[in-house]
Structure 1
Amino acid sequence: MPDAQPPFTKLQLVERVDSWPYFTKDPEAYRRHMLDYHYFLIEGYDRPFGYVHSHFISEVSWPEYWKIDAEKRFLTLTTGTDFDTRSRLVYETLRKNHESQSVPALRYWAKEEFPVYDTLTGELVLNMDGCGTDMFGIVSFSVHMTGWVMTAEGIKIWVPRRAKEKMSFPGMLDNTVGGSLAAGEKPIDGIVRECEEEICLDPEYTRANIRACGTNSFQLTVTDLLEPACQHQVQYLYEIELRQDVVPKIGDGEVGELNLLSLEEVVEAMRQGEFKLTCNMTYLAFFIRHGYITAENEPDFVQICSRLNRYHDLFIA
């Protein structure tokens, strides 16, 4: 992660999140970076499904159906020719290490399964408990909604502060609503569910007023606990213009407080590093959609736009 300190420029906000190097920019530097990672492979498939930091290789107890090639840096699931078997074996691996409490990243059991796809063909190859997604460096999917109100002073955004009890980024500012997308769940159903759980929006109201706004995608070099790792993330983006008489309420305990902030206040909080890292990408996309950030007022506009939509190409360098 770049060593820049606040106040951050908008491009630095992007670089703090999309921190994984680009192969095409400097292939040799990319290969040096990958020396700290193993490729997560599944027997029968040619391409990796994720990148596993080497500290996980040494921390995790790997059952006999895993093969580790230290020279090539391959971590290969060698057993399982069908979806159910592969899912079961990965579950058993994660569960065993979770119960041993020997791997800090696996101490929290997500109780939600997330899909692992072949990024080339789109085949669903297995489901994995959420505690393993950052460790294995797979592509993960989430839904995020920006709730805003048009006031006499202009647009204002409902911005929550994360509860102090949250495991990651406690007490920091967040997207209006956001959450991971579970296996088999449609993005629209996921964001409607999250809106109800987190800010008590009526599902019928959400479905009638929400607007889909495309995706963000990026690749981090850390977990949400800021441990060295790989995160491939795709955000499905939504927004709602709320009437002034529709006031969100704190729902499931993940939110500590909820405040209505001007665009200028949101930008300044971003510049000062007050937001959970990936939220910066969600808000930058919102500002671009609404013409608040433009090619005329932002010198790094083209690079920011391109890095909000990174293509997740998993390959062996």
Structure 2
Amino acid sequence: MSEALQGPPFTNLQLVERVDSWAYFTKDPDAYRRHMQDYYYFLIDGYDKPFGYMHKRFISGIPWPEYWKIDHDKHFLTLTTGSDFATRSQLVNETLRKAHESPDSTVLGRWADEEFPLYSSTGEHVLDLDGCGIDMLGIVNFSVHLTAWVMTAEGIKIWVPRRALTKMSFPGMLDNTVGGSLATGEKPIDGMVRECEEEICLDPAYTRSHIKACGTLSFQLTVDEMLNPACQHQVQYLYEMELRQDIVPKIGDGEVGELHLLSLEELANATRNGEVKLTCNITYLAFLIRHGYITAENEPDIIEICSRLHRYHALFIA
């Protein structure tokens, strides 16, 4: 286990390092290349840049059909067939379905039954794939995250859910107020409104009239949601919303076990003590920075922290 994934208490910089844990080529090219020996480049014929980084455990754990070519010397995994969007989508999803249904394959997670987009470096929408293949292929995923807060006599307090104990990943841990991945064709604001209604029962009209967009975060993680070796590329569209004290979120779709109203200090302590779901730590750090709880005066690593919250996803062959 890397130093960044060791136990609490964590500094704010360590919270970022645990999420933005992928090696940086510009800092140490040789160390980056050694890291990449455990990964294969996911390529598609006709495109010169990789679309993702796949951990080697998937290469041996999945029954690859004949339209995939595996080069073990170069660590290339290439989709060799499919000259159009529909065919590429069909072949990738067929591969995922066969892997999911194979009795010998235990490396693929649950079938999401929801499709997500894959884009090229130039922004071309190349194919759609089931969500179970996102972290396996190590492609960039897009999500929406909301921090809902209320102003009290004691100051700002945040509605913080505790994940249901039935969740496969991070059961019982604290989470973002609302969050979820964006499906193919879904605009960030529409996805955020949908998630608010599903997870905390907020009226869509109220959400649209009160929500505030706060930019993005991005990171590249070396594990999946189950903390197994993988590549998790993610861009989070950030939102926040101040709720009136008489508007109390309600548990909606079963994703949430409990809802707590925490002060900024209580939330900051929860992150440092390892009580928050891994990737949600940086979402809350960004909120604490925006609202002046974490500043240059009380955080000596503020420059490094802010820069690491916005990783540039440039996929390349080292």
TM over 0.5: yes
Q: Over residues 234-256 of structure 1, what are the superposed CA-to-partner deviations in whole Å (9 max), with x where a residue is unaligned?
A: 00000000000000000000000
What letter matches 1:128 in structure 2? L
The answer to whether the Cα contact below 8 Å between 1:216 and 1:237 also exists between their aligned partners in 2 is: yes
User: Does 2:81 align with 1:79?
Assistant: yes
What letter matches 2:273 in structure 1? Q
1:257 positional shift: 0.2
What letter matches 1:272 in structure 2? N
Superposition pairs for residues 208-287 of structure 1, below 5 Å? 208-287=209-288
TM-score normalised over the length of structure 1? 0.98
1:78 positional shift: 0.1
Residue 51 of structure 1 is aligned with which of 50, 53, 57? 53
Match of residue 293 from structure 1 = 294
Match of residue 106 from structure 1 = 108
| Equivalent position SS for 1:280 | helix
1:101 positional shift: 4.2
Q: For 1:48 and 1:228, locate their aligned partners in 2 and report how far apart those are by CA, in whole Å.
A: 19
| Equivalent position SS for 1:64 | coil
What letter matches 2:236 in structure 1? Q
Change over 3 Å in CA distance of 1:105–1:160 after alignment to 2? farther
The answer to whether the Cα contact below 8 Å between 1:37 and 1:51 also exists between their aligned partners in 2 is: yes
User: Does 2:28 align with 1:26?
Assistant: yes
The answer to whether the Cα contact below 8 Å between 2:61 and 2:106 also exists between their aligned partners in 1 is: no
1:107 positional shift: 4.0
Q: Over residues 81-120 of structure 1, what are the superposed CA-to-partner deviations in whole Å (9 max), with x where a residue is unaligned?
A: 111000000000000111114333424000111110012x
The answer to whether the Cα contact below 8 Å between 2:218 and 2:312 also exists between their aligned partners in 1 is: yes
How many residue pairs align between the two structures? 316
Gaps of 5+ in 1: none
| Equivalent position SS for 1:23 | coil
| Equivalent position SS for 1:155 | strand
1:292 positional shift: 1.0
Choose 251-260 or 95-104, whichever is displaced more.
Answer: 95-104
Match of residue 183 from structure 1 = 184
Q: For 1:161 and 1:103, locate their aligned partners in 2 and report how far apart those are by CA, in whole Å.
A: 32
| Equivalent position SS for 2:7 | coil
Gaps of 5+ in 2: none
TM-score normalised over the length of structure 2? 0.98
Q: CA RMSD in A?
A: 0.8
User: Does 2:128 align with 1:127?
Assistant: yes
